[in-house]
A and B are shown apart, each in its own frame.
Chain A
């Protein structure tokens, strides 16, 4: 399964038992300069659509949502010292957290890359 996308402009990539989650390039453009990220703690249970942290930009705080139900394995510790990674590498080194999935089927109705691209074009 390739990377999937949510309407909240987050991406999720599954690799074996864990999935990595981040925000998209479109999201970081909307957020502006990121100054602080609160990633969820290891061991936290999250549900699809539930809160999983906060991204603070200069102007405002934005919630991060869990795109699926599962348990947090790791928050990206690099973001503590360099929150701006979200701006410079949102779909790479600026990943937010890794999680296990309770039900990989929850990802079926998320958008693939092409669908997300159209979705974003429709917003602009």
Chain B
């Protein structure tokens, strides 16, 4: 029971319990892994209607000052100076080996930058920012806001009932809006591959807002279990599994997040290695895997080619309800295989047949136009 003393409650804790959530400790918080209907139903509801996620465990940070974008560029490889007000970019904190310390979303508004960082890396990221750029900009950890995500094909029509402005936002755009007299910060983005929104809202207003959304017939509460199966099918990295300090964004297939000016100019940790990998190729690459049978393969399982040589490792794996079978993500030696190739994944000493695919197994449906 002593573990519970270190576990914090989310602002929506009582709603989760009322809904019959199975709570587990995660990144220092008591979090809902699933609700009554189970992971498969929640996952499917998100891809067919709308799923509502409590992601308040994540870190929300405001950067302010004369030029927070220039400061942030010293520790991330994305073009932040060129990020216009009202736009959002995905990027990562890199280390001297070009490896990833955390991945994050950066939004620009009139007051500076708004960052969303992973819960497990919150303390380390903040410490990293303080020591690297604390003298160049003001770093404020936003403690009083909850963060919720509404994801799925019906997300826009649901949120549109409360604010028409949200309906017209494009993917990776940001706005400050008022909903029912509450100031919210909203981006059209998410972690499921579906259209959707992430909404930062004061903790003292989130319960009422969430009740409104949950009363909508198209909205289902969705826990961490389905959050993981959704992002896995969509080929989105999970820090700690698919990204880590020994993995570069190029190996991870994230070169697209490093805009050309930054590739040339550098000015972030690990630039030389990253530039070399962009120009000359990286030793490993991230792949998707579709397994033939029903048995899932999970992180750590070895990937073998048809000659029996080990060519890589699974970094994330599980069951994909939309795919209807087990799916996985992993890394292989760059020249060891390509999309369409058959491989074996070693699970409990047995080879499970699989096919190499793009990590994006379920196509994205972002609202880009």
Contacts and interface: CB of A to CB of B under 8 A. Distances in A.
Contact of A36 (B22, B38, B228, B295): B295
B324 to A, nearest CB: 10
A59 B294 contact: no
Given A32-B38, A33-B38, A35-B326, A58 B229 contact: yes
B318 interface: yes
Contact of A59 (B33, B293, B295): B33
Is the contact region of chain A dominated by helix, strand, or loop, or is it mixed?
mixed
B39 interface: yes
B117 to A, nearest CB: 24
A56 B296 contact: yes
Interface in A60-87: 60-61, 80, 83, 87
Contacts, number: 44
B31 to A, nearest CB: 13
Given A32-B34, A32-B225, A35-B326, A58 B295 contact: no
A63 B318 CA distance: 16
A54 interface: yes
Nearest to A81: B294
B318 A58 contact: yes
Interface in B26-77: 33-34, 38-40
Contacts of A61: 296, 298
A59 B225 contact: yes
Is the contact region of chain B dominated by helix, strand, or loop, or is it mixed?
mixed
Contacts of B40: 33, 58
A123 to B, nearest CB: 13
Given A58-B39, A59-B33, A59-B39, A36 B294 contact: yes
Nearest to B24: A59
A25 interface: no
Given A33-B39, A35-B326, A56 B33 contact: no
Interface string B265-299: 00000000000000000000000000001111010
Interface residues of B, number: 19
B191 interface: no
Interface in A107-124: none
Contacts of B171: none
A57 B338 CA distance: 29
Interface size of A as a range: 10 to 19
A86 to B, nearest CB: 13
Contacts of B22: 32
Contacts of B326: 35-36
Contacts of B319: 33, 35-36, 56, 58
B180 interface: no
B295 A56 contact: yes
A59 B318 contact: yes
Contact of B294 (A33, A35, A60): A35
A15 to B, nearest CB: 29
A38 B295 contact: yes
Contacts of A60: 298
A36 B39 CA distance: 15
Contacts of A80: 294
Contacts of A83: 294
A58 B348 CA distance: 17
Nearest to A37: B294
Nearest to B34: A32
B43 to A, nearest CB: 8
B39 A32 contact: yes
Nearest to A83: B294
Contacts of A56: 294-296, 319
Nearest to B318: A58
Nearest to B347: A61
Given A35-B294, A54-B348, A59-B318, 15 more contacts: A33-B38, A33-B39, A33-B319, A35-B296, A36-B295, A36-B296, A36-B326, A56-B296, A58-B318, A58-B319, A58-B321, A59-B225, A59-B228, A61-B296, A80-B294
23 contacts: A32-B34, A32-B38, A33-B38, A33-B39, A35-B296, A35-B319, A36-B294, A38-B348, A56-B295, A58-B39, A58-B40, A58-B225, A58-B318, A58-B319, A59-B33, A59-B39, A59-B228, A59-B318, A60-B298, A61-B296, A80-B294, A83-B294, A87-B38
Give 7 nearest A-B pairs by CB, closest first.
A35-B319, A36-B294, A58-B39, A33-B40, A36-B295, A58-B319, A33-B38
Interface of A: 32-33, 35-36, 38, 54, 56, 58-61, 80, 83, 87
